[in-house]
Amino acid sequence: MDELKSAWSSLTHGARAFTNRKGWNNGYCDFINRVNLDSEPMGFEPIWTGGALLEILGPAVNKVGKPHWPVRVLTPSEVSTAEEINHDTRPEVVFFATVTRRERLPDGTRRVNRFPQLMGKDVPVPLFSTTAENYIRGERVRLLPRGAPIPNPYNPPL
């Protein structure tokens, strides 16, 4: 658990794209590491890396002229009170962060690597927002058939 909390601290540092100067080290509340608990929650950019498994909550809606799917996310209070929230128990709200290069490989996939925070291991990132629902642009979603296995985030098709 300490290793995961350390990776989370690295991902949510204010110099990272996820928080954009609104990380725990800038005085914002980090519910996972229990830092600055009396402060405003960290600010998160709307960033999800490739390979996230999402629970779609309803039909796509039009936002800014494009279809967006409503998806399940965690609220900060859920993150702060539930140690058992992880990719194994809640894969629809905890994804593995990936670094993707857009080049096509000979086997038809693209190069996708793990984030470096855990030196080659999966780096879990909870999806959360101020409400239990958020939206993702339609063209960023690949719908899976009901009951399909969870795809490997590190070897997606183009």
Q: Which of 40, 6, 41, 11 is nearest to 114 (CA)?
A: 11
pTM of the model: 0.72
- Are the beta carbons of 127 and 39 closer than 8 angstroms? no
What is the separation of C-alpha 60 from the centre of its chain, rounded to a whole number of angstroms?
Answer: 20
Q: Is 135 helix (H, G, I), strand (E, B) or coil?
A: strand
Please give the structure tokens belonging to residue 105: 């490989």
Instruction: Reply yes or no on whether the pLDDT at 51 is more than 80.
Output: no
Q: Where are the domains of the chain?
A: 1-45, 48-142
Q: What does the pLDDT read at residue 82? A: 63
DSSP string, 49-114: -TT----B-SS-EEETTEEEEEEE-B-HHHHHH-TT-STTT-TTTEEE-EEEEEEEPTTSBEEEEE
- Are the beta carbons of 113 and 98 closer than 8 angstroms? yes
Q: What are φ and ψ of residue 104, in 5° steps?
A: -85, 135
Question: Each residue of 82-130: pLDDT tens digit?
Answer: 677 788 888 888 888 887 766 777 887 777 788 888 888 888 888 877 7
Instruction: Reply yes or no on whether the pLDDT at 157 is more than 60.
Output: no
